[in-house]
Amino acid sequence: MKEELQAIESEALAAVEKAEDSQALQEMKVKYLGKKGSLTTVLRGMGKLSKEERPVIGELANNVRASITEALDAKTEKLEREALDKQLETETIDVTLPGNPIHVGGRHLLTSIMEEIEDLFIGMGYEVKEGPEVETDYYNFEKLNLPKNHPARDMQDTFFITNELLLRTQTSPVQARTMEAYQGNRPIKMICPGKVYRRDTDDATHSHQFRQIEGLVVDKNITLSDLKGTLDVFAKKMFGKDRKIRLRPSFFPFTEPSVEMDVSCKVCNGEGCSVCKQTGWIEILGGGMVHPRVLEMSGYDSTVYSGFAFGMGQERIAMLKYGVNDIRHFYTNDVRFLSQYHQA
């Protein structure tokens, strides 16, 4: 039996050395060490040995098993290493080549403008209010001193859902709702950004939907000079510290007196050019003192309280600040255009 074990060891070690793949090694493991393998078959005859021979043969059998197992493991590791080396050789990567770029998005220019304006007014003590885009005729028009059949409604022709429901033409209804909620006995200092709708023909400067930011301040002893000072701070923050503003008389049904605000042209510094149509000024927004009737309809005593309101289009501010010449660029989702302003 001793000679048989030694013969099995010699045969197994020689076979392992010649093996060329892992499948062959697995077959050898089964052949020599499996339940029906050569070593197991020989060991079944140990019952015929004397008590003195059994320990010697048992130790030898264990050594043979360990020797074959060690050879199998070493050969397996060698074959795996050789396979890896071959794979690395055939799949060589040139680490000096540039990788595939990861395209990272950024804020939309209108979002950046909105956040910049919000941050400015929040720093001045304003609250940010929001309201529904599907609005009632009452809050969108009547509550703002625009009764039914009022001719000024023609300037804000919109999309009606029913006779009383419509897509809001301005964010002013948020102001009306806020004044009504405060029941005429609390000061107000707020801005209301949001999407609005007009039945306009889309072109380079008009869109059937756009974004607007309006502001409202109501308190005791509010004057037109407070409005001018606020808008002056806004203009210098958005367009540069050297910008000047001017207020021109205008008309809005919900303010009296009403004004249009112009800012000095930053291209020609007020000297006159094609951008400002040789005037030196560019129209930015409208505003005025809140009409006493609007205050009264929301429960405010117009003999005690006064206020100012203003409104601007985000797209117009962005176009003037960054030199965008077509409002449609904001909505056509052309990444080539939008990516220019990710750091705005």
* 30 within 8 A of 37, measured Cβ to Cβ: yes
> Around Cβ 302, how many Cβ atoms within 10 Å?
15
pLDDT for 113: 92
Signed CA dihedral, 114, 320, 214, 281: sign only: positive
**Contact criterion met (CB below 8 Å) for 287 and 231:** yes
More confident residue, 153 or 176: 176
Q: What are phi and psi of 251, to 5 degrees?
A: -140, 125
Would strands 165-167 and 305-313 be described as parallel, antiparallel, or unpaired? unpaired
Tell which wins on pLDDT, 69 or 222.
222
Q: 54 pLDDT exceeds 80?
A: no
Per-residue model confidence (pLDDT) at position 47:
65
Instruction: Quick: pLDDT tens for 107-140.
Output: 899 999 999 999 999 999 999 999 999 999 999 9
Q: Is 256 a known ligand-binding residue?
A: yes
Question: What's the pLDDT score for residue 57?
Answer: 72
Predicted pLDDT at 49: 67
Q: What is the pLDDT of residues 134-158, one digit of tens each?
A: 999 999 999 998 888 777 677 667 8
CA proximity to 213, closest of 138, 313, 301, 140: 313
Q: What is the pTM of this model?
A: 0.68
pLDDT (0 to 100) of residue 87 = 82
Strand 165-167 relative to strand 134-136, pairing: antiparallel
Whether residue 322 is predicted with pLDDT greater than 70 in this model: the reply is yes
- Looking at residues 41-63, what average pLDDT do you find? 72
* Cβ 135 vs Cβ 163: under 8 Å: no
H helices present in 145-196, as ranges: 172-182
Query: pLDDT higher for 219 or 38?
Result: 219
Bridge-based pairing state of the strands 209-220 and 188-197: antiparallel
Q: Where are the domains of the chain?
A: 2-90, 109-341
- Among 104-108, 226-230, 243-247, 326-330, the range scoring the smallest mean pLDDT is 104-108
Does residue 333 have a pLDDT over 90? no
| pLDDT, position 344 | 62
What is the distance between the alpha carbons of residues 234 and 224, in angstroms, rounded to a whole number?
15
The radius of gyration of the chain from alpha carbons, rounded to an integer in Å, stands at 42
Q: From 3.30.930.10, 3.60.70.12, 3.20.20.70, 3.40.720.10, which CATH number describes the 109-341 domain?
A: 3.30.930.10
Q: What does the alpha-carbon distance between residue 33 and residue 65 come to, in Å, rounded to a whole number?
A: 7
Least confident window among 40-44, 77-81, 233-237, 339-343: 40-44
Min mean pLDDT across 48-52, 147-151, 174-178, 314-318 is at: 48-52
Q: How confident is the model at residue 25 (pLDDT cuts 50, 70, 90)?
A: confident
Q: What does the block give as tokens for 235?
A: 């203009």
Average pLDDT over residues 234-252: 92
Residue 16 to residue 39: CA distance in whole angstroms: 15
How high is the pLDDT of residue 28?
80
282 pLDDT tier (thresholds 50, 70, 90): confident
What is the secondary structure of 176-235 as a DSSP string?
HHHHHHHTTSS-EEEEEEEEEE--PPPSSS--SEEEEEEEEEEEET--HHHHHHHHHHHH
At residue 1, the pLDDT reads 67
Query: Is the pLDDT score of 268 beyond 90?
Result: no
Q: Amino acid identity of 93?
A: I
pLDDT of 222 higher than 80:
yes
- Residue environment code for 82-109, b if the CB has 16+ CB neighbours within 10 A, otherwise e: eeeeeeeeeeeeeeeeeeeeeeeeeebb
Mean pLDDT of the chain: 87
Amino acid at 38: S
Q: To which residue do tokens 């060329």 refer?
A: 20
C-alpha–C-alpha distance, residues 214 and 209, integer Å: 16
Peptide bond into 173 cis (omega under 30): no
The answer to whether residues 334 and 99 touch, using CB atoms and an 8 Å cutoff, is no
Choice among 93-102, 282-291, 332-341 with the minimum mean pLDDT: 93-102
List CB contacts of 330: < 8 A, sequence separation 6 or more. Answer: 108, 109, 110, 315, 318, 324
Residue with tokens 């043979």: 64
Tally of residues, the chain: 344
> Per the structure block, which two tokens stand in for 245?
């503003």
The DSSP string of 257-276 is EEEEEEEE-TTTTTS--TTT
Instruction: Name the strand (E) or helix (H) holding 248.
Output: strand 245-252
Tokens of 137: 């005729």
